[in-house]
Each structure stands twice: as structure tokens, then as C-alpha cells.
Amino acid sequence: MDVRTDHDLNDYLREKRAGFVGLGLMGGHMAANLLKVGWSITGWNRSAPALDDFVARGGERATGVDALRDEPAIVFMLPDLSYIEEAAAGLLASWSESPPRPGTAVVVMSSVSPAAVRDFGARVSDASHGNAVVVDAPVSGGTDGASVGSLAIMVGAEADEFQRLLPLFNAMGGTVRLLGPLGSGSLAKACNQLIVGTTTAALAEAAELAERSGMDVGALYEVLSGGLAGSRVLEFVGPRLAAKDYAPTGPAKFMHKDLSFVLESAEAVDASVPMATAGVELYAELKRQGLGDLDLAAVRQTISNLSNGTVATAAPSSSQDQLRNRKQ
């Protein structure tokens, strides 16, 4: 048996030990920031180059996700919950046969469905005989925020779990808040994406309208930034929109997924979300146009294509109605 099992679980968080699964555009920077402040991180990634880079930075290589079973906390930073469930299958099987220490934390830092992450939490609890808990802690700030450790981290957990994991979060983020129990962090991230996705779309519409009217988009954004239309979204996405620079800092297709979580959550509490509904339709069109792997700013190209009449679109329909139909 691993010698670490002879010690109290909290000792290893005080010793700053954790596992990390998913070392891509965001996760690689986040794990690197943990290493920089003295954490001992054992990582796993599906593709070898990212894992090799992580090891070169001082991380330890895991042979598989199940090899992380005795870490006090295991961070998952993968595209969606389905990827996490697939990656964690061997881990949960191992815990089913031999439970981990009480209080072991599975930290989901991806953008996932609030309802689905609560279900995942129940499955993890069952598989671990009640010894492991799921905490959702999605992030905002993009690759720039991940690189410099200034991410906003939205946490869904019990208060004691949050306090125990706070040093881990503080090593990766500049703003860390407990929003409520499991699922609350994911709902907060969905709200964040509602604002980011629809604001970016509005800026893209304004850019197309201005340019087609003979106006300089850069000048327009400059004057807008000095008024009520100024925002962090304009500050960070505006230059890419103006330059039509769609080199990915994160795939735009994920915005469609994230806004779908807004609709799912809104239906559960009978909230009307017309902006999110329109956003889901627009980002679905972005994916249909084959732009999903480009930067979020590519929504401007989507709008341009629609303006040119070069793309046939499906008849608009209520995405909330579609969600209800899928559940029936």
C-alpha cells in the first residue's frame, strides 16, 4: 500500500499535493502555476506532448488517472463532463474495490452542466463508499488568466471543503468565491458565459454594421470603451474582433455548450432567458458554418456570412422547447 495512506489526508493538502488531469490550453498553465508555488503535482494527459512539457516544468507523470487514487485532491480540466467521466472510470473502479481516504476531493474545473455535476457527485460518492466528494470550480479568464494565475474561480462545495481546498484555488486564481453547494459553481459559470457570449455577439454585430457603413471598427471600439458600453469583454475580445483575428485562445464551439447549460438551468426554475436562447441559436449557426474550432471572436465571421446570405440556416426555433422535447 502507498506509504501516503499512513498519514492524515489533510497533511497532504498542507504539504501541497494534488493530481491534475487535463493539461491543455488552460490546464497546462494552471498546473504550471501550482508547480511554481511549490505544489507537488502528479499529472495525466491523453496526448504525450503536453504531459512531457508538464514533466519538464517539474511535475510528476501518472501512468493513468487511476494512479492518482491516493492523492488528496484530483483536479479535472477537460472539455466537458463526458470526458471527465470517461477519464475517471478506472479511478472510480479502483475506489469501489478499495475506498480512498475520507474527504478525498474530485475538483471539476471544467464548464459543465450544474445538474449533471450533481449527478456525478452522487456517483463518485457511491463508488468511493462515501469517502470522496465532488467540488465544482469552473474558471473564467481565458488562457491569459490561466497563464498568470489571475483566474476567477467559482466554487460549488460545502464550506469546510472549500476552506480545505482554498490554498489550491489561490495558487491558480485571483478571485475565488464559494457560491453554494455542489452545482453552484457551474451555474455561476453558465451566468458568466451568458454575459460573455451575448456581449461578444453584440460587439460582433456592431463591428459588422459599422464596417459595412464605412466606419473604422477600431475607432468605434475606442470611443465605446470610454462610455457605458465599455467592458472587460470589449477590452479583451474587441481587438480580435476588429482585426478579424480568429486564432483560437479557446474553441468557440464551447460557448454553444455553455449557453445550453443556461437554458437547462433556467427551465428548472421557470426563468425566462431570451438572450441565452438567441445566443444558443447563433453559436449553433457558428458550428454549422464550421467555425467551432476558431476563437470566440469568430462569431463575427458567422454574422458576416449571414449578412452576405451565403449560409443557409435552419428555421429559428425555441431552444428551450427543443430541450423539453429531448426530456420527454
Residue of 16, 36, 189, 327 marked catalytic: 189
Angstrom distance (rounded) from CA 178 to CA 201: 29
Alpha helices in 18-135 (DSSP H): 27-36, 48-56, 81-97, 114-127
Which own/partner contact pairs does 228-237 have at CB distance under 8 Å and 24+ positions apart? 231/199, 233/195, 233/196, 233/199, 233/200, 233/203, 234/199, 234/203, 236/142, 236/144, 237/200, 237/203, 237/296, 237/297
Active site residue 189: yes
Angstrom distance (rounded) from CA 142 to CA 152: 10
Q: Are strands 139-140 and 151-156 parallel, antiparallel or unpaired?
A: antiparallel
- State phi, psi for 121 to the nearest 5 degrees: -60, -40
Angstrom distance (rounded) from CA 87 to CA 105: 16
Q: Which residues does 190 contact at the CB level (< 8 Å), separation at least 6?
A: 111, 114, 258, 259, 261, 262, 265
CB burial of residue 318 (10 Å; 0-12, 13-18, 19+): middle
Angstrom distance (rounded) from CA 77 to CA 81: 10
Q: List, in sequence order, every residue forming a beta bridge with 76; answer none if it has no partner.
A: 21, 108
Catalogue the active-site residues: 189
